[in-house]
Chains A and B, each alone.
Chain A
Amino acid sequence: MTGAGDFDLLLVPPRPRTGWRVLPARVTAMCVVELQKLRHDRTELYTRAVQPALWLLIFGETFTRIKVIPTGGIPYLDYLAPGIIAQSTMFIAIFYGIQIIWERDSGVLTKLLVTPTPRVALVTGKAFAAGVKAMIQAVVVVLIAALLGVSMTWNPLRLAGVIVVVLLGSAFFSCLSVTIAGIVLTRDRLMGIGQAITMPLFFASNALYPTTAMPDWLRYISVINPLSYEVDALRGLLLGIPSDLPLDFVVLFAAAAIGITAASGLLGRLAR
């Protein structure tokens, strides 16, 4: 039975990567796994496309017609599309913590925690893996929007900016989710909290309407909501309407960094 094959390679330990090289290697490993899983099971890809399609098709088309939302002169559907990209990628990221808890329960995460992977590298890897999923979702929504006649940019530089924004946004929201997972520890509780916060995050942002149309208290909330900055950046990049891109990028970078730090700190709790 065994001994049939050679196992000379297994006798020599691999040479460890050191220093800064560890992080990109782990991020790549986590993203590869995410893509492999998606290749084997694409159902999630299709079911996830339904909601944003409905938002654009029904909500978008209707409000384009009745013209009650001040969009600064562009069709409401165009205005809405970046908001729906941000919203639907946020949904994916927020529920990423559930996958992490599943991986904890099944032992997959436990084993990864025993590899030469610092917590920060593992969390960053997972955050980017969530970003990979979000990015595919973003492409799907862009395509749906294009089909509905939204005219967005095809400038490669701007699209690269879109990728960065979506990655940073989902890094923040997936780390938020992992942080909550590290606090509540069970899937059911995380599911409940996830459901409780997604809608408020969505409505307390500029995804559906400009902040100028909000009552004061809601506007204050939207100022501290990273989703607002993500939407603002996406609108600026995809539609070319005035937006504060430098501020958006700074806020998204900071949010992602804070999220990764918090999640790394709490990841150990999931292992116990």
Chain B
Amino acid sequence: MRDDTPAVSCTGLSYSFGQTKAVDGLDLTVVSGEVFGLLGPNGAGKTTAIRCVTTLLPVPSGMVKVFGYDAATEQMAVRRLLGYVPQQLSADGGLTGRENVSLFARVFDVSRRERAARVGQALEVVGLADAADRLAATYSGGMVRRLELAQALVSSPRLLMLDEPTIGLDPIARTSVWEHILAVRAATGMTVLVTTHYMDEADQYCDRIALMHHGRVRALGTPEQLTDDLRARLGDGSSPTLEDVFRDVAGSGLNEGGGEFRDVRRTRNTASRVG
């Protein structure tokens, strides 16, 4: 008996940093159970949108709902449903993998009786059982990402939010992170909202995607729908990629868009910390 309350709904979501309109009238509905990708170049406003949904950034009431709970007025209820992995690598290097996950078990009120077993399962699921008692500072970038996934999973969230989970990782680590995300999704049926600027990932792993540019959704649908629509419109027998769809709606390619200094610097920072 699945109810059809959307996992996330944003209506006319806007957020500005001073003069910068980071998110500018975003309308978005994530259906319960799907893997939804927010795809866009650096500076498109993906992270800001995610942070509005997580209650990190203050939004007016009525704009953002998570499983029907208002992100402005029912923050605690929203947070209980969320597992959040931010864009930066956020595991604490001064703690072991197990201690990192344990902290999140504690702050999500996992009972003492269940804690050790639950933490163990979360580490097992992401393939870190063997490395669990090493300091996270010794982990590779891909391992840190999987550890963060375990931190998010230990509270059994209904909505997993991942902000650029594969940024700066090598192809093998990228694939491994995605395989774990999908395996967990298959086993638990949780909803996944993920941002990325890698077109191939969105294409390959997401049920539906929204193309985001300058704070707004420019196109929305399954990867096939988006490319099929463009193919029909072009009508010249070519087979367009998501990149072409993006170019079509935004007027520039994914890699040429946005990218002020601070965005580039941030991306580099993350990439080099993953290194």
A108 at interface by CB-CB < 8 Å = yes
Which chain A residues (15-42) contact chain B, with CB distance < 8 Å? 15-17, 25-26, 28-29, 32-33, 36-37, 40-41
The interface bits of chain B over 150-174 (1 if a CB of A lies within 8 angstroms of the residue's CB, else 0) are 0101111110000000000000000
CB–CB B76/A4 < 8 A: no
CB–CB B95/A36 < 8 A: yes
**How far is the CB of B75 from the nearest CB of chain A, in Å?**
9
CB–CB A6/B114 < 8 A: no
In the complex, identify which listed stretch (B27-35, B115-123, B206-214, B239-247) lies at the interface while the others stay far away: B115-123
A14 at interface by CB-CB < 8 Å = yes
Complex: A110 Cα to B135 Cα, angstroms: 21
B58 at interface by CB-CB < 8 Å = yes
Contacts of A5 in B (CB 8 A): 121, 124-125, 129
Which chain A residues (125-144) contact chain B, with CB distance < 8 Å? none
Given A2-B183, A6-B121, answer yes or no on A14-B106 (Cβ-Cβ < 8 Å): no
CB–CB A7/B99 < 8 A: no
Complex: A272 Cα to B126 Cα, angstroms: 30
Complex: A26 Cα to B103 Cα, angstroms: 10
Complex: A3 Cα to B156 Cα, angstroms: 16
- Closest residue of chain A to B56 (Cβ to Cβ) is A271
B267 at interface by CB-CB < 8 Å = no
CB–CB A1/B79 < 8 A: no
A265 at interface by CB-CB < 8 Å = no
B231 at interface by CB-CB < 8 Å = no
In the complex, identify which listed stretch (A78-86, A113-121, A184-192) lies at the interface while the others stay far away: A113-121
Complex: A5 Cα to B117 Cα, angstroms: 12
CB–CB A29/B76 < 8 A: no
**How far is the CB of B114 from the nearest CB of chain A, in Å?**
6
Complex: A121 Cα to B85 Cα, angstroms: 22
Given A29-B103, A107-B90, answer yes or no on A2-B188 (Cβ-Cβ < 8 Å): no
CB–CB A14/B156 < 8 A: yes
Complex: A110 Cα to B89 Cα, angstroms: 11
CB–CB B121/A111 < 8 A: no
**How far is the CB of B22 from the nearest CB of chain A, in Å?**
11
The number of A-B residue pairs with CB atoms under 8 Å apart is: 134
CB–CB B151/A12 < 8 A: no
Contacts of B121 in A (CB 8 A): 5-10
A112 at interface by CB-CB < 8 Å = yes
Contacts of A3 in B (CB 8 A): 183, 187
Complex: A7 Cα to B189 Cα, angstroms: 13
The interface bits of chain B over 80-120 (1 if a CB of A lies within 8 angstroms of the residue's CB, else 0) are 10101111111110111001000111111111001001100
B180 at interface by CB-CB < 8 Å = yes
- Closest residue of chain B to A113 (Cβ to Cβ) is B56
**How far is the CB of B122 from the nearest CB of chain A, in Å?**
6
CB–CB B95/A37 < 8 A: yes
Complex: A28 Cα to B127 Cα, angstroms: 28
CB–CB B118/A116 < 8 A: no
Contacts of B95 in A (CB 8 A): 33, 36-37, 40
Complex: A107 Cα to B188 Cα, angstroms: 26
Closest 3 CB pairs of A and B: A107-B90, A5-B124, A29-B106
24 contacts between A and B (CB under 8 A): A3-B183, A5-B124, A5-B129, A8-B121, A9-B114, A10-B121, A12-B156, A13-B156, A13-B158, A14-B108, A14-B110, A14-B111, A14-B114, A14-B155, A25-B106, A29-B106, A33-B92, A36-B95, A37-B95, A110-B90, A111-B84, A114-B55, A115-B104, A115-B107
Residues of B at the A interface (CB closer than 8 Å) are 17, 54-58, 76, 79-80, 82, 84-92, 94-96, 99, 103-111, 114, 117-118, 121-122, 124-127, 129, 135, 151, 153-158, 179-180, 183-184, 187-188
Known: A13-B158, A37-B92, A116-B109; 4 extra A-B contacts, CB below 8 A, are A17-B109, A110-B56, A111-B90, A114-B84
